[in-house]
Structure 1
Amino acid sequence: MKNKRKILITLALCALIIIYGSYFIKNQKKLAIEQFRTSEKQLIKEIKQEASENPSHSLVESTQDDSDMFLMVPTDSQATMIKDVQEDMAKLADSLIKNKDKATPTKTVLSAKVKNTQQNVTFYEYEKKQYDWSKEKKKWEESTQPLKEKTLINQLTGNKLTLGDIFINQQNLSKLSRNIQEELLAAAKDSKKDIEKILALPQLLATQTDFTYGDSKITIPFHQKNAYINTYTINYEQVGRFLNPDFISSHYLKETPIETVVPQSKVVALTFDDGPSDKTTPAILAILKKKKTPATFFMLGQQVEKFPDLVKTIADDGHELANHSYSHPKLTDLSIEDARQQINRTQAAIFKASGVLPEYVRPPYGSFNYETAVAIGLPLINWSVDSLDWKTKDSKKIDTEIKTTIGADSIILMHDIHQETADALEKLITDLQKDGYRFVTISDLLQTTPKPLTVYYSSTNRQDIPNQ
C-alpha cells in the first residue's frame, strides 16, 4: 500500500514537473519572440532613421522569407531614383536573398556609393550591411561586405554606360569585332581548327553594358559556354579613331583619315554568285585567266564544303572571295542567331578551304535590314547591273542586258552556276574591254575602306543602313 502511494506521489510530481516545464518552455519561447520583435522594430527604426538623414538616396523596402531588404538607391538632382542603378540593385537584392540561409532571420541594407567619377561617367559600387539574429546572444550581429558588382552611369544621358557610348556607334563596334577575329586567327596555333570558335564569339553591340571600363583600356567578358576566350581587352591606344571624346581622354584620340572616292570612268566589277560549281566554275575561271580579268566570287557555304579545292583555285588565281550565306535563305526571314550562323558557317568554310576570311557579304536576294546587317557585321555588296542570267538562261540576252545597263562604276551581278553565263562571258569581256572598260575586284572598285552597316551598289552609290 505504501509503495503504491509512493508511486502515485512520484507520478504526480513528474506530472507537475512536466506541466511546469512545458509552461516554462512556452513562456521562454514567448519571451524570446517578444524580445526578437522588439529588437527587430528597433533595428528597422534605426535603419529608416539613417536613411532619412541621407537626402541623396531613397529607401526601397522588400520582404521575402523572413528577410527584409533595404535598398538605399541614389537619386538625381530632382530627387528621382536613378533608374538603372535601382534596377541593378533590385537584381542584386534578389540574388542575395536567393542565396542566404533561410533559417536565420536577416535584415540587409544594400547601398550604392560613388566610387569615382571619370570623364562624364559615374561609378557606383555596392556595399552590403547584413544583420543576422543570434538566438544564443539574443541580438542582431552586424557584418559589412563590399560587393564586386558595379554600375556605370553616363552623366550625359543618365543611363547606363554602353559600348556604343564609348565607341560612338555600332559600325565601329562591328569593325572591332572583325579586328578581334583577325587578331585571334593570326595568333592561333591551328587557325583552321579554331575558326568556328573564334567566329562564334559574341559580337560587340552598341547596347552592351557588361564590361570593365578603365582609364586606358576596356575589358569585355564573353560569358558564352566553352568560349574561345573568356575576356578580351581593348587598349585605347590601338583604337583611337573609334573612341568618343566625351568619355575618353584626348591623349588616345586619333583622327579618322578622310577618304574620298574619285569617279573612275568605265571601271567595273564582275561578281559571281551561288557557286562554286564543278560543272561551270572551272570554265569561267579559264576565261577570266585568258582575258586577265579579276572578279569577285560570292560563295554559298554548302557549295564551298563540296568543292574546297575549287575555292582554293579561285583564290590562287587572284580573285576575291566573298560570302553569300550558307544555303541561300532570305536572311530577313530568319532569327538574328540563324542569320548569323548562315554567315559564320560560310566564313569558316571559305577560310578552311583557302585561308582567306572574306570581307564582304552579299545577302541572298539583296535583302537586308538593320538587324540582319548587325548580325552579319560586314559590309554588304549588292549590285547596279543585273545580268538576269538566272532568269533568261540565254547567253545572248545576258550579253545584251549587261551592255544596255552598264555604267561607269558598275557592280555586275552574274552566277557561276549557269552554263549560259559561261557561254556569254568571253565575248562580253572582249567587247567591254574594246569599249574602254577595265575590270577590278570589289575592293579595288570601292577605293575607300568598306564599312559594316553600309550597302554598296557601286563605288559611288553607297548607303548607310539606318536603325529604324
Structure 2
Amino acid sequence: MDKNRHAHSTRNSRRINRNQHTGKKLAILSLFTSMFLLIGGGLYVTHAIQHDTKETAEEDENNDYQQKAAALVEKIRQAQKEEPIESTEFLETTNDIQTLLYNPAQTKSIPQFSTLKSELTAMIDTIKKDRANHAPRKIVGQLKMTKITEQLNRYQPFITTYTWEKNKQDWSKQTNTGKTSVVVNQKNNQRLTLTDLFTSEANLLAVQQIVQQKLLDDSLDGNAVIDGVLTMPKFSIQDTAFTYYPDKISLNLPDNPTGKKEVTLPYNEITGYINSEFVDPRSLQETPPVALDPNKKYISLTFDDGPNPKTTPKLLDILKDKGVNATFFMLGQNVVKNEAIVKRTAEEGHEVASHSYSHPQLTELSPERINEEVQNTDKAIYRAIGKLPTDFRPPYGAVTPEVAAIINKPIIQWSVDSQDWQSHNVDKIIQRVHDTEYNDAIILMHDIHPETVEAVPIVIDRLREEGYEIIPSKQLLGNKTKPMHMYYGSTDERPIQ
C-alpha cells in the first residue's frame, strides 16, 4: 500500500514539474513574441519615418533646383538686355537640356553674319551631343560684340554652359568662344582691312622689311635662308591674309625657306606704319617714338661709296671723338672686302644703309640687274652685321617708279651737296656746307676721299656753333620712312610717281 502511495506521489511530482516547465516555455515564448512585435513595429515605424524623410528631402531638393533654375534663366535674360546687340530669344527644351539662343535683331550690320551663325550653331550641337555628364544643362548661345576702340567692334560666337551640380546644389558655369572673329570698322560698317590698318601699300611694304629681318633673326642660320627671305613675294594690301588683335597683328606669309606660315608683330614695333585709330592705345605706349624738338635745329651727315680701308676708319675715329652718329650708304663690293669696318661702323651707333653693289646708274639697267645690285648688297651687309639695310640711296640719285618698286626700300636723297667728289679741297668742302646748310637738311659727303675726312671735324664744329644737333638720317626722318617714297628731309617727302 505504501508502495502504491509512493508511486502515485512520484507521478504527481513529475506532472507538476512538466506543467511548470511548459509554463516557463510559454512565458519565454510570449516574451520573445512581444519583443519581436515591438522590434518589428519599431523597424516599421523607423522605415516609414525614413521613407517620409527621404521623400521630403527629394521634394525640397527638387523645389530648390526649380527655384535656382528659374532664377538662372531670369539672370540670363537680364544680362542679355544689357548686351550692346539687340536680340530676340529662341528657347528650346529637350529632356534636361534647355537652350537659349539669342539672334541679333539686325543682321545686316554684322559682316559675315552667316559664317558666325553657322559656327555658333555647330558649337551648340557639339555641347548637346556631349553627354558624359547627364546632369541638367542650360546652353546660352549668342554673337557677342566687344568694343575694341572707338572705331572698332569685334563679333564672335560665344557659348555659356550652365550645368547642375547635384552635390553642390547649384549651377556651374563654362564659357567657349568661337574661332571665327570679325572685326568691324565702325566708320563704314565693313570688316577691318589692311588698308584700314596701314592706309597704303607703301606702309605695308615697310613692315615687310621688318618681317624679313625677324625671319632671319628667328632662323638658326640666316645666311642659309637669306636668298629665300629676300625673294619672298611682296605683301599685298588687298590679298595678304591677317589676324587682328588689339595689341598686335599676325600676317600670313607666302612660301619661304624658313617654313613659317605667319609672323606676329606687336604694334609698338611698327608704330610709324600703323593707323593708331584702330589699335589699343596702350599697345603703343611701351616704346613711344622720340619726336624731334620743334625748337631745335637738326641736320644729318651722310657718307657714300665706302667703306674704304684707309679713310673710313679715320672718319670713324673723328666721329667717335666728336660724339656724332652718321649714316653710311655703302657699296656691296666694298662691304665684302671690309667686313670688320662695317661691323665697327654699326657697333659705334652709325646707320649702315645701301648704295647698290657696284654703283651703276640703275635707271639704265634691266630689272634683273637692278635686283642683283640690291640683293647682293643686302646679303653682304647682313653677313657683316646680322642686319639688313632698310634705307637705300641710288647712285647719282637716279630713280624711277619702276626702279623704286624693285628696290623696295625708302629712297634717301640729299638736300645739301658738299661737292667733295668734285673739289677734293678741304676749304671748299667746308665752305660749301656752310653756304648751303639749313635746318632739316641731309648733307651728302663721301668717306672715300681723304680731303672729306680732313674737313669733317671742322664741319661738325661749325654746325654745332650754329646750333645744329647732328643725327643719322633715319632719326632725322622719324624712323618711319617707307618704300616708293624718297626723302630730302623730314618735311620733304615725295612719292615716287
Class of the TM-score when normalised by the shorter of the 2 chains: 0.5 to 0.7
- Which residue of structure 2 lines up, in the alignment, with residue 341 of structure 1? 372
- Relative distance call for 1:352 and 1:239 in structure 2 (3 A) is closer
| Alignment match of 2:459 (pick from 423, 428, 431) | 428
TM-score, normalising length: structure 2 = 0.53
**Shift of residue 271, structure 1, vs aligned partner:** 0.6
Distance 1:315 1:240 in 2: 22
Q: Deviations over 1:417-463 (max 9, x none)?
A: 1111112122222232233322111232223522332211122x332
Contact 2:219 2:258 in 1 (8 A): no
| Aligned residues: CA RMSD | 4.0
- Which residue of structure 2 lines up, in the alignment, with residue 295 of structure 1? 326
Contact 1:237 1:252 in 2 (8 A): no
- Relative distance call for 1:163 and 1:215 in structure 2 (3 A) is closer
**Shift of residue 394, structure 1, vs aligned partner:** 1.3
- Relative distance call for 1:438 and 1:184 in structure 2 (3 A) is same
**Shift of residue 381, structure 1, vs aligned partner:** 1.2
The letter for the 1-side match of 2:418 is S
- Which residue of structure 2 lines up, in the alignment, with residue 56 of structure 1? none
- Relative distance call for 1:323 and 1:122 in structure 2 (3 A) is farther
Distance 2:397 2:366 in 1: 17
| Alignment match of 2:389 (pick from 355, 358, 366) | 358
Identity within the alignment, %: 38
- Relative distance call for 1:416 and 1:347 in structure 2 (3 A) is same
- Which residue of structure 1 lines up, in the alignment, with residue 168 of structure 2? none
- Which residue of structure 2 lines up, in the alignment, with residue 442 of structure 1? 473
- Relative distance call for 1:405 and 1:214 in structure 2 (3 A) is closer
Contact 2:415 2:441 in 1 (8 A): yes
**Shift of residue 227, structure 1, vs aligned partner:** 4.3
**Shift of residue 121, structure 1, vs aligned partner:** 13
The letter for the 1-side match of 2:343 is K
- Which residue of structure 1 lines up, in the alignment, with residue 417 of structure 2? 386
Aligned pairs for 1:399-414 within 5 A: 399-414=430-445
- Relative distance call for 1:427 and 1:122 in structure 2 (3 A) is farther
- Which residue of structure 2 lines up, in the alignment, with residue 465 of structure 1? 495
- Which residue of structure 2 lines up, in the alignment, with residue 195 of structure 1? 226
The letter for the 1-side match of 2:226 is I
| Alignment match of 1:367 (pick from 395, 398, 408) | 398
Q: Which runs of 5+ in 2 are unaligned?
A: 1-108, 116-192
Distance 1:367 1:199 in 2: 23
Distance 2:243 2:306 in 1: 47
The letter for the 2-side match of 1:201 is M
Distance 2:377 2:393 in 1: 12
Distance 1:195 1:366 in 2: 27
SS at match of 1:306: coil
**Shift of residue 378, structure 1, vs aligned partner:** 2.2
TM-score, normalising length: structure 1 = 0.56
**Shift of residue 164, structure 1, vs aligned partner:** 6.5
Distance 1:261 1:301 in 2: 32
**Shift of residue 348, structure 1, vs aligned partner:** 1.7
- Relative distance call for 1:240 and 1:261 in structure 2 (3 A) is closer
The letter for the 2-side match of 1:298 is F
SS at match of 1:321: strand
The letter for the 1-side match of 2:344 is T
Q: Deviations over 1:209-244 (max 9, x none)?
A: 5x6688999875646xx8444744679999998789
- Which residue of structure 2 lines up, in the alignment, with residue 173 of structure 1? 204
Contact 1:264 1:409 in 2 (8 A): no
Contact 2:206 2:481 in 1 (8 A): no
Contact 1:324 1:363 in 2 (8 A): yes
Task: Give the number of aligned pairs.
Answer: 309
The letter for the 2-side match of 1:268 is I
